[in-house]
Structure 1
Amino acid sequence: MKVKEIFNSNFAIYYEKVINRLSSPIQIDKWRKVLVKKAVAICPNASTAIDCCSGAGNVGKFFLRENPKAKLINCDISKPLLKLAKENFSNKENVFYVCSDNRFFPIKDNSTDILFSSFCVRNSPEPTLTISEAYRVIRSGGVWAILDFFRIEKESSLTKANNFIFKSFMNFTKLVAPSHSEAIDYLFESIKKFYTVTEFKNILLESNFEIAEIKEFMGGVANVLIAIKKEV
Protein backbone atom coordinates (compact mmCIF):
# COMPACT_ATOMS: atom_id res chain seq x y z
CA MET A 1 0.00 0.00 0.00
CA LYS A 2 1.57 3.25 -1.14
CA VAL A 3 0.39 5.39 1.79
CA LYS A 4 1.79 2.90 4.29
CA GLU A 5 5.13 2.87 2.48
CA ILE A 6 5.32 6.66 2.31
CA PHE A 7 4.57 7.30 5.97
CA ASN A 8 6.82 4.52 7.23
CA SER A 9 9.77 5.78 5.19
CA ASN A 10 12.23 8.59 5.89
CA PHE A 11 9.69 10.93 4.32
CA ALA A 12 7.55 10.71 7.45
CA ILE A 13 10.21 12.42 9.55
CA TYR A 14 10.96 14.93 6.79
CA TYR A 15 7.26 15.73 6.52
CA GLU A 16 6.93 16.29 10.26
CA LYS A 17 10.18 18.11 10.97
CA VAL A 18 10.40 20.19 7.80
CA ILE A 19 7.10 20.54 5.91
CA ASN A 20 4.84 20.52 8.96
CA ARG A 21 7.17 22.65 11.06
CA LEU A 22 7.37 25.32 8.35
CA SER A 23 3.69 25.34 7.38
CA SER A 24 2.02 24.94 10.78
CA PRO A 25 2.80 28.38 12.26
CA ILE A 26 1.66 30.06 9.04
CA GLN A 27 -1.68 28.35 8.47
CA ILE A 28 -2.27 24.78 9.59
CA ASP A 29 -2.10 25.25 13.36
CA LYS A 30 -4.87 27.83 13.01
CA TRP A 31 -7.00 25.22 11.26
CA ARG A 32 -6.22 22.62 13.92
CA LYS A 33 -7.23 25.00 16.69
CA VAL A 34 -10.54 25.67 14.93
CA LEU A 35 -11.05 21.91 14.54
CA VAL A 36 -10.50 21.29 18.24
CA LYS A 37 -12.48 24.24 19.57
CA LYS A 38 -15.53 23.42 17.47
CA ALA A 39 -15.46 19.76 18.56
CA VAL A 40 -14.99 20.64 22.23
CA ALA A 41 -17.83 23.18 22.04
CA ILE A 42 -20.18 20.28 21.26
CA CYS A 43 -18.55 17.76 23.63
CA PRO A 44 -17.04 19.93 26.41
CA ASN A 45 -16.78 17.04 28.88
CA ALA A 46 -15.39 14.40 26.54
CA SER A 47 -13.74 11.60 28.50
CA THR A 48 -12.16 9.91 25.47
CA ALA A 49 -10.88 11.24 22.16
CA ILE A 50 -9.21 9.40 19.30
CA ASP A 51 -6.87 11.24 16.96
CA CYS A 52 -6.92 9.17 13.78
CA CYS A 53 -3.87 9.71 11.54
CA SER A 54 -2.45 11.52 14.55
CA GLY A 55 1.08 11.82 13.23
CA ALA A 56 3.25 13.32 15.95
CA GLY A 57 0.24 14.57 17.90
CA ASN A 58 -0.30 17.97 16.31
CA VAL A 59 -4.06 17.96 16.93
CA GLY A 60 -3.91 16.11 20.23
CA LYS A 61 -1.76 18.77 21.87
CA PHE A 62 -4.46 21.38 21.25
CA PHE A 63 -7.18 19.05 22.49
CA LEU A 64 -5.38 18.41 25.79
CA ARG A 65 -5.07 22.15 26.35
CA GLU A 66 -8.87 22.31 26.19
CA ASN A 67 -9.50 19.07 28.09
CA PRO A 68 -6.34 18.04 29.97
CA LYS A 69 -7.91 15.14 31.89
CA ALA A 70 -9.44 13.32 28.91
CA LYS A 71 -7.99 10.09 27.55
CA LEU A 72 -6.34 10.69 24.17
CA ILE A 73 -5.61 7.79 21.81
CA ASN A 74 -3.18 8.55 18.99
CA CYS A 75 -3.88 6.21 16.09
CA ASP A 76 -1.64 6.14 13.01
CA ILE A 77 -0.23 3.74 10.43
CA SER A 78 3.19 5.39 10.73
CA LYS A 79 5.51 3.90 13.34
CA PRO A 80 8.06 6.75 12.97
CA LEU A 81 5.38 9.39 13.60
CA LEU A 82 3.90 7.50 16.56
CA LYS A 83 7.39 7.36 18.03
CA LEU A 84 7.57 11.16 17.74
CA ALA A 85 4.14 11.42 19.36
CA LYS A 86 5.35 9.35 22.31
CA GLU A 87 8.28 11.73 22.71
CA ASN A 88 6.01 14.77 22.50
CA PHE A 89 3.59 13.40 25.11
CA SER A 90 6.21 11.72 27.30
CA ASN A 91 4.97 13.53 30.41
CA LYS A 92 1.31 12.58 29.86
CA GLU A 93 -0.15 9.49 31.54
CA ASN A 94 -3.52 9.83 29.81
CA VAL A 95 -2.18 9.51 26.25
CA PHE A 96 -2.06 6.17 24.42
CA TYR A 97 -0.84 4.92 21.04
CA VAL A 98 -2.19 2.49 18.45
CA CYS A 99 -0.50 1.61 15.18
CA SER A 100 -3.39 1.00 12.84
CA ASP A 101 -4.70 1.31 9.30
CA ASN A 102 -7.46 3.93 9.20
CA ARG A 103 -9.83 1.37 7.65
CA PHE A 104 -9.67 -0.97 10.66
CA PHE A 105 -9.49 0.63 14.11
CA PRO A 106 -8.72 -1.79 16.98
CA ILE A 107 -11.14 0.26 19.07
CA LYS A 108 -14.41 -0.81 20.76
CA ASP A 109 -17.78 0.14 19.30
CA ASN A 110 -19.36 3.38 20.58
CA SER A 111 -16.35 4.10 22.76
CA THR A 112 -15.21 7.62 21.93
CA ASP A 113 -16.77 11.05 22.43
CA ILE A 114 -14.66 12.80 19.78
CA LEU A 115 -12.83 11.40 16.78
CA PHE A 116 -10.35 13.78 15.17
CA SER A 117 -9.04 13.07 11.69
CA SER A 118 -6.81 15.62 10.02
CA PHE A 119 -5.51 14.94 6.50
CA CYS A 120 -6.66 11.38 7.04
CA VAL A 121 -9.67 10.21 5.03
CA ARG A 122 -8.05 11.49 1.84
CA ASN A 123 -5.15 9.12 2.47
CA SER A 124 -7.37 6.07 2.89
CA PRO A 125 -7.27 3.53 0.05
CA GLU A 126 -10.96 2.92 0.81
CA PRO A 127 -12.54 6.09 2.24
CA THR A 128 -15.95 4.47 2.66
CA LEU A 129 -14.44 1.90 5.04
CA THR A 130 -12.79 4.67 7.02
CA ILE A 131 -16.15 6.45 7.29
CA SER A 132 -17.79 3.21 8.46
CA GLU A 133 -15.11 2.70 11.09
CA ALA A 134 -15.50 6.27 12.30
CA TYR A 135 -19.23 5.72 12.70
CA ARG A 136 -18.64 2.47 14.58
CA VAL A 137 -16.26 3.85 17.23
CA ILE A 138 -18.04 7.16 17.93
CA ARG A 139 -20.81 7.02 20.54
CA SER A 140 -24.28 8.25 19.65
CA GLY A 141 -24.25 12.03 19.82
CA GLY A 142 -20.45 12.07 19.59
CA VAL A 143 -18.41 14.23 17.23
CA TRP A 144 -16.30 13.49 14.19
CA ALA A 145 -14.04 16.51 13.61
CA ILE A 146 -12.48 16.39 10.14
CA LEU A 147 -9.79 18.58 8.59
CA ASP A 148 -8.60 17.88 5.07
CA PHE A 149 -7.76 19.16 1.62
CA PHE A 150 -10.63 18.57 -0.81
CA ARG A 151 -10.91 18.65 -4.57
CA ILE A 152 -12.06 22.11 -5.56
CA GLU A 153 -15.65 22.37 -6.80
CA LYS A 154 -15.25 25.70 -8.57
CA GLU A 155 -12.07 27.70 -8.87
CA SER A 156 -12.09 31.38 -7.94
CA SER A 157 -9.30 33.93 -8.04
CA LEU A 158 -8.79 33.34 -4.29
CA THR A 159 -8.62 29.57 -4.77
CA LYS A 160 -6.16 29.93 -7.66
CA ALA A 161 -3.93 32.23 -5.60
CA ASN A 162 -3.93 29.92 -2.60
CA ASN A 163 -3.34 26.87 -4.77
CA PHE A 164 -0.37 28.63 -6.33
CA ILE A 165 1.08 29.43 -2.89
CA PHE A 166 0.51 25.87 -1.66
CA LYS A 167 2.04 24.26 -4.74
CA SER A 168 4.98 26.67 -4.74
CA PHE A 169 5.74 25.80 -1.12
CA MET A 170 5.55 22.07 -1.78
CA ASN A 171 7.64 22.34 -4.94
CA PHE A 172 10.25 24.24 -2.94
CA THR A 173 10.46 21.30 -0.52
CA LYS A 174 11.04 19.03 -3.53
CA LEU A 175 14.01 21.15 -4.56
CA VAL A 176 15.42 20.98 -1.05
CA ALA A 177 14.91 17.21 -0.79
CA PRO A 178 14.58 15.70 -4.29
CA SER A 179 14.64 12.17 -2.84
CA HIS A 180 11.14 12.84 -1.48
CA SER A 181 9.70 14.09 -4.79
CA GLU A 182 7.56 10.99 -5.38
CA ALA A 183 5.96 11.25 -1.93
CA ILE A 184 5.22 14.95 -2.39
CA ASP A 185 3.74 14.30 -5.83
CA TYR A 186 1.47 11.74 -4.17
CA LEU A 187 0.08 14.47 -1.89
CA PHE A 188 -0.97 16.52 -4.93
CA GLU A 189 -2.49 13.50 -6.66
CA SER A 190 -4.43 12.47 -3.55
CA ILE A 191 -6.23 15.83 -3.54
CA LYS A 192 -7.14 15.56 -7.23
CA LYS A 193 -8.64 12.11 -6.65
CA PHE A 194 -10.50 12.99 -3.43
CA TYR A 195 -14.08 14.14 -2.97
CA THR A 196 -15.25 17.70 -3.18
CA VAL A 197 -16.46 18.95 0.19
CA THR A 198 -20.06 18.74 -1.03
CA GLU A 199 -19.62 15.13 -2.15
CA PHE A 200 -18.03 14.25 1.19
CA LYS A 201 -20.79 16.03 3.14
CA ASN A 202 -23.43 14.03 1.28
CA ILE A 203 -21.64 10.76 2.03
CA LEU A 204 -21.60 11.64 5.72
CA LEU A 205 -25.32 12.42 5.64
CA GLU A 206 -26.00 9.06 3.98
CA SER A 207 -23.83 7.41 6.68
CA ASN A 208 -26.11 8.64 9.50
CA PHE A 209 -24.11 11.71 10.50
CA GLU A 210 -25.50 15.20 10.94
CA ILE A 211 -23.35 18.10 9.72
CA ALA A 212 -23.00 20.69 12.46
CA GLU A 213 -20.67 23.02 10.58
CA ILE A 214 -18.38 23.38 7.59
CA LYS A 215 -15.66 26.01 7.61
CA GLU A 216 -13.44 26.61 4.61
CA PHE A 217 -9.90 27.93 4.47
CA MET A 218 -7.81 29.22 1.58
CA GLY A 219 -10.90 29.68 -0.57
CA GLY A 220 -12.00 26.08 -0.05
CA VAL A 221 -8.64 24.38 -0.56
CA ALA A 222 -8.94 23.09 3.00
CA ASN A 223 -12.09 22.53 5.05
CA VAL A 224 -13.12 21.66 8.59
CA LEU A 225 -16.27 19.55 8.88
CA ILE A 226 -17.91 18.93 12.23
CA ALA A 227 -20.21 15.90 12.07
CA ILE A 228 -22.35 14.38 14.82
CA LYS A 229 -23.29 10.71 14.95
CA LYS A 230 -27.07 10.54 15.06
CA GLU A 231 -28.73 9.06 18.12
CA VAL A 232 -29.87 5.48 17.54
Structure 2
Amino acid sequence: MKVKEIFNSDFAIYYEKVINRLTSPIQIDKWRKTLVKGAVALRPDAVTVVDCCSGAGNVGKFYLKENPRAVLINCDISRPLLGLAKENFATNQNVFCVCSDNRFFPIKDRSVDILFSSFCVRNSPEPLLTVEEAKRVIKKGGVWAILDFFKLERDDACTVANNFIFRFFMKLNGIVVPSYSEAINYLFESIENFYTAREFRKVLLKFGFTVVKLKEFMGGIASVLIAIKEEV
Protein backbone atom coordinates (compact mmCIF):
# COMPACT_ATOMS: atom_id res chain seq x y z
CA MET A 1 0.00 0.00 0.00
CA LYS A 2 1.64 3.24 -1.13
CA VAL A 3 0.17 5.42 1.61
CA LYS A 4 1.19 3.00 4.33
CA GLU A 5 4.74 2.84 2.97
CA ILE A 6 5.06 6.63 2.79
CA PHE A 7 3.85 7.28 6.32
CA ASN A 8 5.95 4.50 7.81
CA SER A 9 9.11 5.72 6.13
CA ASP A 10 11.63 8.37 7.18
CA PHE A 11 9.54 10.87 5.22
CA ALA A 12 6.88 10.83 7.96
CA ILE A 13 9.36 12.14 10.52
CA TYR A 14 10.77 14.68 8.05
CA TYR A 15 7.27 15.92 7.29
CA GLU A 16 6.47 16.34 10.98
CA LYS A 17 9.76 17.83 12.14
CA VAL A 18 10.54 20.01 9.12
CA ILE A 19 7.53 20.72 6.89
CA ASN A 20 4.97 20.79 9.68
CA ARG A 21 7.10 22.90 12.01
CA LEU A 22 7.78 25.43 9.28
CA THR A 23 4.19 25.75 8.10
CA SER A 24 2.20 25.35 11.33
CA PRO A 25 2.93 28.77 12.85
CA ILE A 26 2.19 30.43 9.49
CA GLN A 27 -0.97 28.64 8.39
CA ILE A 28 -1.81 25.13 9.57
CA ASP A 29 -2.22 25.81 13.30
CA LYS A 30 -4.85 28.38 12.33
CA TRP A 31 -6.69 25.67 10.41
CA ARG A 32 -6.41 23.24 13.33
CA LYS A 33 -7.74 25.78 15.80
CA THR A 34 -10.72 26.46 13.51
CA LEU A 35 -11.32 22.71 13.35
CA VAL A 36 -11.19 22.26 17.12
CA LYS A 37 -13.26 25.31 18.02
CA GLY A 38 -15.93 24.32 15.50
CA ALA A 39 -16.27 20.89 17.10
CA VAL A 40 -16.16 22.16 20.68
CA ALA A 41 -18.89 24.70 19.96
CA LEU A 42 -21.22 21.82 19.11
CA ARG A 43 -20.11 19.27 21.74
CA PRO A 44 -18.46 21.25 24.58
CA ASP A 45 -18.72 18.38 27.07
CA ALA A 46 -17.56 15.53 24.84
CA VAL A 47 -16.39 12.46 26.75
CA THR A 48 -14.86 10.28 24.03
CA VAL A 49 -12.87 11.93 21.26
CA VAL A 50 -11.00 10.17 18.45
CA ASP A 51 -8.36 11.82 16.29
CA CYS A 52 -8.10 9.70 13.17
CA CYS A 53 -4.85 10.12 11.22
CA SER A 54 -3.63 11.94 14.30
CA GLY A 55 0.02 11.97 13.34
CA ALA A 56 2.04 13.35 16.24
CA GLY A 57 -1.09 14.72 17.91
CA ASN A 58 -1.14 18.27 16.62
CA VAL A 59 -4.93 18.55 16.70
CA GLY A 60 -5.20 16.75 20.02
CA LYS A 61 -2.98 19.24 21.81
CA PHE A 62 -5.33 22.07 20.83
CA TYR A 63 -8.39 20.05 21.75
CA LEU A 64 -7.20 19.20 25.25
CA LYS A 65 -6.72 22.90 25.94
CA GLU A 66 -10.48 23.27 25.34
CA ASN A 67 -11.59 20.08 27.09
CA PRO A 68 -8.80 18.56 29.22
CA ARG A 69 -11.06 15.92 30.80
CA ALA A 70 -12.05 14.12 27.62
CA VAL A 71 -10.62 10.74 26.69
CA LEU A 72 -8.57 11.27 23.54
CA ILE A 73 -7.69 8.35 21.28
CA ASN A 74 -5.07 9.00 18.61
CA CYS A 75 -5.35 6.61 15.66
CA ASP A 76 -2.84 6.50 12.83
CA ILE A 77 -1.33 4.01 10.40
CA SER A 78 2.11 5.54 10.96
CA ARG A 79 4.07 3.95 13.78
CA PRO A 80 6.81 6.63 13.64
CA LEU A 81 4.25 9.42 14.06
CA LEU A 82 2.40 7.58 16.82
CA GLY A 83 5.74 7.26 18.57
CA LEU A 84 6.01 11.05 18.53
CA ALA A 85 2.41 11.33 19.76
CA LYS A 86 3.19 9.08 22.72
CA GLU A 87 6.11 11.34 23.61
CA ASN A 88 3.99 14.47 23.24
CA PHE A 89 1.23 13.11 25.50
CA ALA A 90 3.45 11.22 27.93
CA THR A 91 2.07 13.08 30.94
CA ASN A 92 -1.61 12.79 29.91
CA GLN A 93 -3.32 9.83 31.55
CA ASN A 94 -6.45 10.28 29.43
CA VAL A 95 -4.70 10.00 26.04
CA PHE A 96 -4.20 6.74 24.15
CA CYS A 97 -2.44 5.89 20.88
CA VAL A 98 -3.58 3.12 18.55
CA CYS A 99 -2.07 2.00 15.25
CA SER A 100 -5.03 1.76 12.90
CA ASP A 101 -6.01 1.83 9.23
CA ASN A 102 -8.48 4.66 8.60
CA ARG A 103 -10.89 2.19 6.98
CA PHE A 104 -11.13 0.00 10.08
CA PHE A 105 -11.26 1.85 13.40
CA PRO A 106 -10.78 -0.32 16.53
CA ILE A 107 -13.64 1.64 18.09
CA LYS A 108 -17.09 0.51 19.25
CA ASP A 109 -20.23 1.40 17.30
CA ARG A 110 -21.81 4.75 18.18
CA SER A 111 -19.30 5.48 20.97
CA VAL A 112 -17.58 8.67 19.81
CA ASP A 113 -18.72 12.22 20.61
CA ILE A 114 -16.21 13.95 18.32
CA LEU A 115 -14.15 12.46 15.51
CA PHE A 116 -11.31 14.57 14.13
CA SER A 117 -9.70 13.71 10.82
CA SER A 118 -6.94 15.90 9.43
CA PHE A 119 -5.55 15.15 5.97
CA CYS A 120 -7.09 11.73 6.42
CA VAL A 121 -9.92 10.78 4.07
CA ARG A 122 -7.93 11.94 1.04
CA ASN A 123 -5.18 9.49 2.01
CA SER A 124 -7.55 6.55 2.32
CA PRO A 125 -7.23 3.89 -0.40
CA GLU A 126 -11.04 3.65 -0.17
CA PRO A 127 -12.44 7.00 0.97
CA LEU A 128 -16.05 5.83 1.10
CA LEU A 129 -15.09 3.04 3.50
CA THR A 130 -13.50 5.65 5.74
CA VAL A 131 -16.71 7.70 5.65
CA GLU A 132 -18.70 4.55 6.45
CA GLU A 133 -16.44 3.86 9.43
CA ALA A 134 -16.88 7.40 10.68
CA LYS A 135 -20.64 6.96 10.49
CA ARG A 136 -20.38 3.68 12.41
CA VAL A 137 -18.36 4.98 15.37
CA ILE A 138 -19.90 8.43 15.86
CA LYS A 139 -22.93 8.75 18.12
CA LYS A 140 -26.16 10.19 16.81
CA GLY A 141 -25.71 13.93 17.22
CA GLY A 142 -21.95 13.49 17.35
CA VAL A 143 -19.53 15.62 15.39
CA TRP A 144 -17.13 14.83 12.58
CA ALA A 145 -14.56 17.62 12.20
CA ILE A 146 -12.63 17.34 8.93
CA LEU A 147 -9.57 19.22 7.68
CA ASP A 148 -8.07 18.36 4.32
CA PHE A 149 -6.62 19.50 1.03
CA PHE A 150 -9.37 19.31 -1.58
CA LYS A 151 -9.34 19.39 -5.36
CA LEU A 152 -9.68 22.98 -6.53
CA GLU A 153 -12.85 23.99 -8.32
CA ARG A 154 -11.98 27.54 -9.30
CA ASP A 155 -9.00 29.46 -10.66
CA ASP A 156 -9.36 33.04 -9.45
CA ALA A 157 -6.26 35.11 -8.73
CA CYS A 158 -6.22 34.31 -5.00
CA THR A 159 -6.46 30.57 -5.55
CA VAL A 160 -3.86 30.53 -8.32
CA ALA A 161 -1.38 32.52 -6.22
CA ASN A 162 -1.84 30.39 -3.13
CA ASN A 163 -1.66 27.17 -5.13
CA PHE A 164 1.63 28.32 -6.66
CA ILE A 165 3.10 29.08 -3.22
CA PHE A 166 1.90 25.77 -1.80
CA ARG A 167 3.28 23.71 -4.69
CA PHE A 168 6.55 25.64 -4.84
CA PHE A 169 7.18 25.07 -1.13
CA MET A 170 6.45 21.35 -1.36
CA LYS A 171 8.47 20.91 -4.56
CA LEU A 172 11.37 22.71 -2.89
CA ASN A 173 11.44 20.02 -0.21
CA GLY A 174 11.67 17.40 -2.94
CA ILE A 175 14.67 19.22 -4.40
CA VAL A 176 16.37 19.61 -1.02
CA VAL A 177 15.80 15.93 -0.21
CA PRO A 178 15.45 14.10 -3.57
CA SER A 179 14.64 10.79 -1.89
CA TYR A 180 11.34 12.32 -0.72
CA SER A 181 10.23 13.56 -4.16
CA GLU A 182 8.03 10.50 -4.75
CA ALA A 183 6.16 11.09 -1.48
CA ILE A 184 5.68 14.77 -2.32
CA ASN A 185 4.44 13.91 -5.83
CA TYR A 186 1.95 11.56 -4.19
CA LEU A 187 0.56 14.53 -2.24
CA PHE A 188 -0.24 16.40 -5.45
CA GLU A 189 -1.70 13.29 -7.07
CA SER A 190 -3.91 12.58 -4.07
CA ILE A 191 -5.38 16.08 -4.19
CA GLU A 192 -6.11 15.88 -7.92
CA ASN A 193 -7.82 12.51 -7.44
CA PHE A 194 -9.90 13.66 -4.45
CA TYR A 195 -13.22 15.47 -4.19
CA THR A 196 -13.74 19.19 -4.18
CA ALA A 197 -14.94 20.41 -0.78
CA ARG A 198 -18.48 20.82 -2.10
CA GLU A 199 -18.48 17.38 -3.71
CA PHE A 200 -17.38 15.88 -0.41
CA ARG A 201 -20.12 17.76 1.37
CA LYS A 202 -22.62 15.90 -0.85
CA VAL A 203 -20.94 12.59 0.01
CA LEU A 204 -21.37 13.32 3.71
CA LEU A 205 -25.05 14.11 3.18
CA LYS A 206 -25.58 10.72 1.53
CA PHE A 207 -24.08 9.05 4.60
CA GLY A 208 -26.36 10.84 7.03
CA PHE A 209 -24.18 13.81 7.99
CA THR A 210 -25.24 17.44 7.89
CA VAL A 211 -22.41 19.89 7.29
CA VAL A 212 -22.97 22.92 9.51
CA LYS A 213 -19.73 24.71 8.69
CA LEU A 214 -17.49 24.91 5.64
CA LYS A 215 -14.46 27.18 5.97
CA GLU A 216 -11.95 27.56 3.14
CA PHE A 217 -8.30 28.55 3.48
CA MET A 218 -5.78 29.72 0.89
CA GLY A 219 -8.46 30.19 -1.73
CA GLY A 220 -9.89 26.72 -1.21
CA ILE A 221 -6.67 24.70 -1.18
CA ALA A 222 -7.56 23.53 2.32
CA SER A 223 -10.98 23.41 3.94
CA VAL A 224 -12.55 22.63 7.30
CA LEU A 225 -15.91 20.88 7.33
CA ILE A 226 -17.84 20.42 10.56
CA ALA A 227 -20.59 17.81 10.26
CA ILE A 228 -23.21 16.38 12.60
CA LYS A 229 -24.35 12.77 12.35
CA GLU A 230 -28.11 12.86 11.98
CA GLU A 231 -28.87 9.18 11.31
CA VAL A 232 -28.60 6.33 13.81
Alignment of 1:43-192 (within 5 A): 43-192=43-192
2:195 maps to what in 1?
Answer: 195
- Aligned partners of 1:189, 1:123: CA distance in 2, in Å? 10
User: Alignment partner of 2:90: what SS?
Assistant: coil
Which digits, 9 at most, give the CA deviation of each residue in 1:115-144, with x for residues without a partner? 000000000000000000000000000000
Alpha-carbon distance change, 231 to 132 in structure 1, aligned in 2, over 3 angstroms: closer
Moved over 4 A (4+): none
How many correspondences in the alignment?
232
- Aligned partners of 2:85, 2:58: CA distance in 1, in Å? 8
TM-score computed with the length of structure 1 as normaliser: 0.99
Query: Tell me, which stretches of 5 or more residues in structure 1 are unaligned?
Result: none
- Aligned partners of 2:37, 2:197: CA distance in 1, in Å? 20
- Aligned partners of 1:211, 1:56: CA distance in 2, in Å? 27
- Aligned partners of 2:210, 2:21: CA distance in 1, in Å? 34
2:11 maps to what in 1?
Answer: 11
User: Alignment partner of 2:125: what SS?
Assistant: coil
User: Alignment partner of 2:140: what SS?
Assistant: strand
Q: In the alignment, is the contact (CA less than 8 A) between 2:209 and 2:231 conserved in 1?
A: no
- Aligned partners of 1:222, 1:231: CA distance in 2, in Å? 27
- Aligned partners of 2:174, 2:129: CA distance in 1, in Å? 32
The answer to whether 1:207 aligns with 2:226 is: no
- Aligned partners of 2:222, 2:85: CA distance in 1, in Å? 24
Q: In the alignment, is the contact (CA less than 8 A) between 2:114 and 2:138 conserved in 1?
A: yes
Q: Match for 1:222: what amino acid?
A: A
1:33 maps to what in 2?
Answer: 33
Percentage of matched positions with identical amino acids? 72
- Aligned partners of 1:166, 1:151: CA distance in 2, in Å? 13
- Aligned partners of 1:140, 1:206: CA distance in 2, in Å? 15
Q: In the alignment, is the contact (CA less than 8 A) between 2:209 and 2:229 conserved in 1?
A: yes
After TM superposition, give the deviation of residue 154 of structure 1 in Å.
1.4
2:218 maps to what in 1?
Answer: 218
Q: Match for 2:102: what amino acid?
A: N
- Aligned partners of 2:84, 2:65: CA distance in 1, in Å? 19
TM-score computed with the length of structure 2 as normaliser: 0.99
RMSD of aligned Cα (Å): 0.6
Query: Tell me, which stretches of 5 or more residues in structure 2 are unaligned?
Result: none
After TM superposition, give the deviation of residue 231 of structure 1 in Å.
4.6
- Aligned partners of 2:190, 2:155: CA distance in 1, in Å? 18
User: Alignment partner of 2:151: what SS?
Assistant: coil
